[in-house]
């Protein structure tokens, strides 16, 4: 537990919540990243520019953080290329089939007491934990 960072986690989480509230208050939209992002390609015309701008904000945020704080955000990805490809395919397909991800179901859905979101979160958390433990057993580490 030496890497436990509850305070920064709480502050960062609150900012994610603030983002969701702003997007609902002004745009009337759920801040579900998989849905907002895939809609850039698959939503109707006229429903795309706000999505592009939201994603742009998401992409430049780490650069702004780095410019202000002088520190690059920690980013350590240990998985090998085949695992990254498999993981990406599963995340892309799974979030669309399951109508959401950590943000849409985990933050927005749970906060409005959606039964679908509760089931989704319990399942993807369980599947994620199982996969990490299974991968360690198979690949070592």
Query: Which residues, 6+ apart, have CB-to-CB distance to 135 below 8 Å?
Result: 83
H helix or E strand, kind and range, residue 57: helix 49-69
Length of the chain, in residues: 141
| 98 sits near another protein (criterion: CB under 8 A) | yes
Q: Nearest-CA neighbor of 99 among 14, 30, 49? A: 30
| 5 sits near another protein (criterion: CB under 8 A) | yes
What residues from 116 to 135 belong to the interface with another protein (CB under 8 A)? 116, 119-121, 123-133, 135
| 138 sits near another protein (criterion: CB under 8 A) | no
Q: Which of 70, 78, 138, 140 binds another protein (CB under 8 A)?
A: 78
Give CA 72 to chain center in angstroms.
20
Nearer to another protein by Cβ, of 45 and 77: the residue is: 77
Rounded least distance, CB 137 to another protein, Å: 10
| 3 sits near another protein (criterion: CB under 8 A) | yes
| 48 sits near another protein (criterion: CB under 8 A) | no
Rounded CA-CA distance 51/46 in Å is 10
| 4 sits near another protein (criterion: CB under 8 A) | yes
CB-count exposure of residue 33 (10 Å: 0-12, 13-18, 19+): middle
Give the x-and-dash track for 13-42 against another protein (CB under 8 A): xxxxxxxxxxxxxxxxxxx-xx--xx--xx
Q: Which of 43, 93, 138, 140 binds another protein (CB under 8 A)?
A: 93
């Amino acid at each position: 537990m030496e890497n436990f960072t509850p305070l920064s986690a709480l502050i960062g989480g609150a900012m994610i919540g603030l983002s969701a509230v702003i997007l609902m208050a002004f745009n009337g939209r759920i801040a579900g990243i998989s849905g907002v992002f895939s809609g850039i390609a698959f939503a109707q015309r006229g429903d795309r520019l706000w999505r592009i701008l939201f994603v742009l904000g998401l992409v430049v945020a780490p650069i702004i953080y780095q410019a202000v704080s002088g520190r690059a955000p920690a980013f350590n990805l240990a998985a090998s290329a085949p695992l990254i490809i498999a993981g990406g395919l599963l995340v892309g397909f799974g979030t669309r089939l399951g109508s959401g991800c950590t943000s849409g179901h985990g933050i927005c859905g749970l906060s409005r007491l959606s039964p679908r979101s509760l089931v989704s979160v319990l399942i993807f958390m369980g599947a994620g934990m199982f996969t990490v433990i299974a991968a360690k057993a198979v690949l070592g580490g």
